[in-house]
Structure 1
């Protein structure tokens, strides 16, 4: 396919989707990369060097294909999310991106959300684990080894709102008050009202991804996180539909927590995955007080946002927290952090989150050896106290490195 303002590399081949969860990957793939806004200009080139070095160390070569979104796209196309970018990600199936900032009045709630929804990347995957040498506010950050599966297209991402003072909100108020129980009513005066959809289809495909991941990676449990005690027909339905997937599609491979205690006295049979659920506010406490009890979490969108950020705080913050958006036969890796414009162009931002997001990309395409080299080199660098400013200010006796210098050291540590 030809593109208006995107240069396709002369060398390299396309990664082909080989089903909903597998890819056919050449040794010299073309991988699209959106540098992103703000610190994206600093961390993206650093990540490219590290990921490229890990590929070369395993006998492969990446041919990067630069795509544009956000500020760079406005300069090049006079729009935030050009068709070239979306079509290239559809054609080449995998990609990686830095953080994007949505300009005020740009027509999108969020450029990141728009990209995920346009490509139907319905699963936001955020692994959370501690790297030796990273300061943490908790006493035992190594207890955290959790993978969050957050639904990426529904809930508040598909929410509809009516603004206070409009005729529309008054119509909705009238309808809602007719449905309220116990003679309740909405307080007088201005009111904004919103609704959020959670569907059986969206829930089941998300939970299916989480269970498949847990089984493939020998995890012990999948926890459905919801607020179903209050919102029974949305959050509660998420819980019920999640259990239906487990019961109807996985047979003896999974067991519910109730069955675990009633029939097995708390000891799960070997090679059996436990599926349980927790109320969202309680889960925020549980990941702090009983961290090592949890493996994989599956959540509606908003719960997933809260829980994954909270989990990230326990292992040192979002500067090292990776993520990826995954659909059926398509994925785009991206870090959890934002664009931090005040640090842009200063060669000081921490590229670890984007580098480790690239590690997820490697894992998804079956390059586990290259993924391990990335992790080992990042950990070796940080544990030696050669770090960027954000970590350096929290430790004693470290060496403060620029973004580019930090990437150089990681590359040197790849073997």
Structure 2
């Protein structure tokens, strides 16, 4: 341990996750790692302890032990440090490498556009990864939710989420408008009157590393395809560039391990070689339609920040909503799991809400640690609990004959199933 923490208690029984010598992303994980956890705001105080309980049970059932290290961000950090994102938290997330957090709310005037985005940037967690799959027993608005089994790799650091924008009525926005119209030759492109202007950066560097992460994932997990999703027919120098740079990664770095869709049809009559990943691309609006009409044809999605937000939420709706949907952020040698849903402050502390998304985000954490048996155990135990109709209020009202459980009771049922299945 190198950083001198002020208000963080580092567990004395656990060991630190390190990098394998000579690598920037291969973890050396002890059987008793120290794992930072941020409960987060609002319902974080309910769902985070539930996730801890389930993850501990699955780890112990498979011969491991998690040593939790509590960190603070958002409201809890303001109470303890008088700031939203203290150095203690950022440095601990960097040093201990793999962590999990609940939802965070960014207060007005906090100095951050988003605490979640700030964490991703400070840790260079450039790939937001959202697996979307259906659990038996979860109500869904579509007739065949089991067809959805897709993983979205969403670039985390660029696009409009980079936050480069100027407010209407400011001197700065008028300078940008004048530059665009007078110096760049786009006269009469922007309407007169108040205007807000934003810049959308898409870089070769940012594109290639997230596409590389997506292809690596597909190869390691026996997925059939990686789809580059973009609006390149309109945004030719940003989103079309993402598509082109993505294909460059596939063609120049992976050899026979991948095949593009064009080559697949031109040379193989549509038959993919065994063990090869097909890399293709789709226009974003068409992809939103195909999530519904050709759900089972897509495995791994690689896309930009805003597209990824839309697509993953739309996919999540097909498998039961954001209360079920897990997520995680990957960087080189660092990882932060987090559920997709928000902090829902009006339900905070009521022991009421559904912790499934946080628990399944923890499942991704277990996978990142290399504890696949524990990760499988979590999914199976959650599914068995829901299939039995023992659910929180949000699902109980949709399930005939369901039994309504508190957040903590639901976690207890999952733990009992972990023990029964192990």
SS at match of 1:370: helix
Partners of 1:17 and 1:93 within 8 A in 2 = no
Q: Under a length normalisation based on structure 1, what TM-score does the superposition of the two structures give?
A: 0.98
Name which of structure 1's ranges 188-197 and 322-331 shifts more when overlaid on structure 2.
188-197
TM-superposed CA distance for 1:184, in Å, is 4.6
Equivalent position of 1:412 in the other structure: 416
From 173, 193, 196, the counterpart of 2:200? 196
Partners of 2:160 and 2:198 within 8 A in 1 = no
Equivalent position of 2:7 in the other structure: 5
Partners of 1:22 and 1:365 within 8 A in 2 = no
User: 1:17-36, aligned counterparts within 5 Å?
Assistant: 17-18=19-20, 19-36=23-40
From 382, 385, 398, the counterpart of 1:381? 385
Partners of 1:102 and 1:110 within 8 A in 2 = yes
Name which of structure 1's ranges 160-169 and 359-368 shifts more when overlaid on structure 2.
160-169
**Unaligned runs of at least 5 residues, structure 2:** none
Q: Is it true that 1:360 corresponds to 2:355 in the alignment?
A: no
Q: Is it true that 1:88 corresponds to 2:92 in the alignment?
A: yes
User: 1:329-344, aligned counterparts within 5 Å?
Assistant: 329-344=333-348
Q: Is it true that 1:288 corresponds to 2:285 in the alignment?
A: no
- State how far apart, in whole Å, the 1-side matches of 2:146 and 2:194 are: 48
- State how far apart, in whole Å, the 2-side matches of 1:262 and 1:162 are: 47
- State how far apart, in whole Å, the 1-side matches of 2:174 and 2:76 are: 41
Equivalent position of 1:242 in the other structure: 246
Corresponding residue pairs, total: 414
- In the TM superposition, what whole-angstrom CA distance separates every residue of 1:207-238 from its partner, at most 9, and x where no partner exists? 00000000111111000001111111111110
Partners of 1:323 and 1:335 within 8 A in 2 = yes
- State how far apart, in whole Å, the 2-side matches of 1:281 and 1:92 are: 39
TM-superposed CA distance for 1:91, in Å, is 1.0
Q: Under a length normalisation based on structure 2, what TM-score does the superposition of the two structures give?
A: 0.96
- State how far apart, in whole Å, the 2-side matches of 1:328 and 1:260 are: 31
SS at match of 1:213: helix
List, as ranges, runs of 4+ consecutive aligned residues in structure 1 with deviation greater than 3 Å. Answer: 178-181
Q: Is it true that 1:255 corresponds to 2:236 in the alignment?
A: no
Q: Is it true that 1:345 corresponds to 2:344 in the alignment?
A: no
Q: Is it true that 1:132 corresponds to 2:153 in the alignment?
A: no
Equivalent position of 2:406 in the other structure: 402
- State how far apart, in whole Å, the 2-side matches of 1:59 and 1:215 are: 28
Equivalent position of 1:15 in the other structure: 17
**Unaligned runs of at least 5 residues, structure 1:** none
SS at match of 2:141: coil
Equivalent position of 2:230 in the other structure: 226
